[in-house]
Chain A
């Protein structure tokens, strides 16, 4: 198994991205190990008895030259809300890198990335990591409204970005799964990847399955440890109950009982 680390990181940047998401950039005093799109870190939320367990976050960016890891935090419950109170200069303790990342596309392949909400983080990481020319990468990003969208224009160099909003305030109007890139012919793609709310991922997976195209999804089951010992985050699969933290969080849809 792969070596894992527990280290304090300094919060070097904390920035609100929109109404519900913020970005935290964390710096280590050590060199980072290899981190791949889809892998996550498990963060200890300081000084809060109500938040006993760590909180897992997909890695958004890993900058090896600066030893920085960035994550996108969506405010969901007491753990993420407590994290909004940290300040630049504070220390956060991370267990990393955890889980298995996405299967990397190979040269010449055409891929579709569908990210909903904070699920855009690993999708953008994957777009950057893929090494594919931008014309081979389509990225569809869904949010409820214009205000819920994250500014991702700097990622346009890694792929063509399409926006959807439920109220039509930016890009395609409706759910992400209604976007023509997803709802219509998928046969032009070699691989499809998705991360976001479960109903969205299930809808994408259904389309991919119908089209017979390779598809990976990133699951978010609640976990206690994050490294495969508590067996709390299990997902029923064709191979039995598997830990999302170690056998995932990325799964091929053919392994899931969706």
Chain B
């Protein structure tokens, strides 16, 4: 029996397979398919201080091996989460992690302070990488100054595990990762979506109401993998790999590149059972390759 447990700072996960924010709702939707206690963790839908209606329809464009989205953080706000969602999900036996967003540093802080009060939320993922909002989001994550500021201020008010979700829309993602590590981030998760665009050739109009949107799915996997490897080599905090993971081999590649754990995102839309199959697949892989623990696999790239 191989050991699948991994640690992200103070947070122990039963296995390294988690669901990415924005692709699994608030966990209940996935629990309609299978018992979510099988999972290492679930990153809940991005949450803001106030209700957000999100962007106008259309918000989605299919691409070769992926999709663009421009949802724009539609959610009912943190108070609604605490009153109407948290009570239903808090007993799920998996790490429930809130994805925290804001238009301003103050909003990030206020959401974090409210989430800090919840016993069954052991970590937050600070989203400084959403490309689909006019204010905040990626604007913080694409400059060293912005990333430093939000991480520093949120760290001051949060004493549980702080994961910072990074944007790939930067020149040097390793610099951003080092900066948030320096401000006290316990882990980094990467990558969020790549800023992209789709045009209807017949009408010469943009497909998305927002013109641009975030690209995800297998189309981005090689770039995400490269970034995880670069960040792993630049920081000493655990790295969580995200980007087009569809099967066990994809997940193994991210772990070998340096990820301590992974998130399945857009793959859930194609088949919600992908993460369950990956958990079984990782066990099988470790057995076949003579590893006792999945932790030994992290960063084990042969050069």
Contact = CB atoms under 8 A, between A and B. Distances in A.
Interface in A219-235: 221-235
B269 interface: yes
A227 B271 contact: no
A31 to B, nearest CB: 18
A228 B25 contact: yes
Nearest to A5: B33
Contacts of A229: 22-25, 29-30, 45, 268-269
A1 interface: yes
Given A234-B54, A241-B53, A52 B29 contact: no
Contacts of B272: 6, 95, 227
Contacts of B268: 225, 229
B54 A241 contact: yes
A151 B301 CA distance: 61
Interface string A42-63: 0010000111111000000000
Contact of A52 (B71, B74, B270): B270
A76 interface: no
B33 A6 contact: yes
Nearest to A78: B62
B270 A3 contact: no
B60 A4 contact: no
Contact of A1 (B32, B45, B269, B273): B32
Interface in B13-41: 22-25, 28-33
Interface of B: 22-25, 28-33, 45, 53-54, 57-60, 62-67, 69, 71, 74, 217-218, 266, 268-273
A4 B33 contact: yes
Nearest to A49: B65
A4 B268 CA distance: 14
A230 B71 contact: yes
A6 B272 CA distance: 8
A5 B217 CA distance: 22
7 contacts: A5-B33, A52-B64, A53-B67, A227-B32, A229-B30, A232-B71, A240-B53
Given A53-B67, A225-B268, A230 B60 contact: yes
A1 B24 CA distance: 14
B22 A52 contact: no
Contacts of A54: 269-270
A92 to B, nearest CB: 13
Contacts of A6: 33, 271-273
A224 B53 CA distance: 18
A93 interface: yes
Contacts of B65: 49, 52
Nearest to A235: B57
Contacts of B58: 222, 232
Kindly list the 10 A-B residue pairs having the minimum CB-CB distance in the complex, ordered from nearest: A232-B60, A229-B25, A225-B269, A224-B269, A231-B71, A4-B32, A232-B59, A49-B65, A1-B32, A229-B29
Given A53-B67, A241-B74, 8 more contacts: A52-B63, A52-B66, A52-B67, A95-B272, A222-B60, A224-B62, A230-B69, A236-B57
